[in-house]
């Protein structure tokens, strides 16, 4: 599973995969991704998110129908849900606290990096109907679907989608050193 | 105008699911995603038509689907050309409408 690439190399070579082969993703691999998410940083170590893994193709296809952000044919989906009961126990104000979204991001990034390390492709998805996904997955009221990670074995991505756009951004265009000078 | 079966009721329901979900999420998405979702729905519609027998129109539907599936992704890599593509698509469809109208006139 592991290789000799440095962490930075794995980060640098990861790309979003929107199109996948028909090869299924093993449950061991999916479990490995959840373990990676479990090690993600979490605001105040509150851990208010739950992970719903869908690898039965019938359910994957139903979620696809109400998720315009899923352009290809992922073999598995990991739905990150906010556990509203846990959030209330932790005193989190979900309508105001943006750190809950950061926690979705850190968990997602850990999973995408771990997927890439294993040779899997992944794609973050926020363009889906929450109300429809709730019905399809029969989610209890206390779980709010926030985000879907598509997972599969990547196949060659269409050229028109663009490749490595981030690498084309000169580093000086995205950073500043130190304190900004006062303007006149 | 050829009158072939183009959609089963189940396929129409699947398209309805996609369109209603798109209507919901485009409330929040950047403006350019509206045209993207609509053109992607056009690709899905063409896909359904091709699942059946579009008769001698097959080439038209195949070409339009291939063109959309290639160029819709420019949203992520080339927005200038994505906008141009969206502007040109209705003209391509209109050409097919005119071609068929003329063909029917000849047939009368």
Q: What is the pTM of this model?
A: 0.88
For A82-101, how does the pLDDT look when each residue is reduced to its tens digit (9 = 90+)? 999 999 999 999 989 999 99
Buried/exposed code over A147-178 (b: 16+ C-beta within 10 A; e: otherwise): bbbbbbbbeebbebbbeeeeeeeeeeeeeeee
φ, ψ for residue A150, nearest 5 deg: -85, 140
Which residues lie below 8 Å from residue B17, measured CB to CB, with a gap of 6+?
Answer: A65, A66, A132
Residues 6+ apart with CB under 8 A from A92: A46, A48, A100
Nearest chain A Cα distance for residue B86, angstroms: 15
Q: Which domain holds residue A38?
A: 17-156
| Residue B53 binned pLDDT confidence (cut-offs 50, 70, 90) | confident
B14 vs chain A: nearest CA distance in angstroms? 6
Contact between B76 and A71 using a beta-carbon 8 Å cutoff: no
Q: Which of B17, B33, B78 sits opposite A65 (nearest CB)?
A: B17
ipTM comes to 0.81
Please state, in angstroms and rounded to a whole number, the distance separating the CA atoms of residues B38 and B41.
5
Structure tokens at B69: 């599936």
Q: What is the DSSP string of A12-66?
A: HH--B---B-SPPPPHHHHHHHHHHHHTS--GGG---EEEEEE--HHHHHHHHHT
Query: Across all residues in chain A, what is the average pLDDT?
Result: 93
The whole-number pLDDT of residue B7 equals: 87
Give the nearest chain A residue to B71 (CA atoms). Answer: A160
**Residue of A65, A127, A128 lying closest to B14 (CB–CB):** A65
Summarize pLDDT for B6-50 with one digit per residue, the tens: 789 999 999 999 999 999 999 999 999 999 999 999 999 999 999
Structural domain contains residue A89 = yes
**Radius of gyration for the alpha carbons in chain B, expressed in angstroms and rounded:** 15
What total of structural domains would you count in chain A? 1
CATH number of the CATH domain containing A53: 3.40.109.10
Interface test with B, best of A127, A147, A158 (most B CBs within 10 A): A127
In a domain, A163, yes or no: no
Best residue in B10, B11, B16, B21 for a mutation probing chain A (most A CBs within 10 Å): B21
What does the alpha-carbon distance between residue A62 and residue A137 come to, in Å, rounded to a whole number? 9
């Amino acid at each position: 599973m592991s290789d000799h690439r440095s962490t930075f190399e794995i980060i640098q070579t990861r790309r979003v995969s929107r199109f996948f082969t028909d090869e299924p993703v093993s449950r061991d691999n999916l479990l490995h991704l959840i373990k990676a998410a479990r090690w993600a940083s979490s605001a105040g170590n509150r851990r208010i998110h739950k992970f719903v893994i869908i690898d039965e193709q019938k359910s994957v296809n139903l979620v696809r129908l109400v998720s315009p952000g899923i352009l290809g044919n992922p073999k598995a989906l990991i739905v990150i849900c906010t556990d509203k009961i846990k959030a209330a126990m932790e005193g989190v104000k979900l309508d105001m606290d943006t750190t809950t979204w950061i926690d979705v991001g850190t968990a997602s990034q850990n999973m995408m990096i771990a997927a890439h390390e294993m040779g899997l492709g992944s794609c973050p998805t926020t363009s889906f109907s929450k109300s429809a996904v709730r019905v399809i997955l029969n989610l209890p009221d206390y779980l709010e679907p926030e985000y879907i990670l598509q997972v599969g074995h990547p196949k060659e991505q269409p050229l028109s989608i663009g490749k490595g756009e981030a690498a084309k951004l000169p580093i000086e265009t995205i950073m500043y050193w130190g304190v900004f000078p006062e303007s006149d | 105008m050829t009158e072939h079966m183009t959609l089963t009721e189940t396929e129409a329901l699947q398209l309805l699911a996609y369109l209603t979900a798109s209507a919901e999420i485009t409330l929040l998405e950047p403006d350019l995603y509206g045209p993207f979702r609509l053109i992607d729905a056009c690709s899905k519609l063409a896909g359904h038509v091709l699942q059946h027998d579009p008769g001698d129109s097959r080439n038209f539907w195949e070409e339009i689907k291939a063109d959309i599936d290639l160029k819709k992704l420019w949203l992520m890599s080339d927005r200038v050309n994505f906008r141009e593509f969206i502007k040109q698509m209705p003209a391509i469809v209109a050409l097919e409408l005119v071609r068929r109208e003329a063909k029917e006139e000849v047939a009368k």
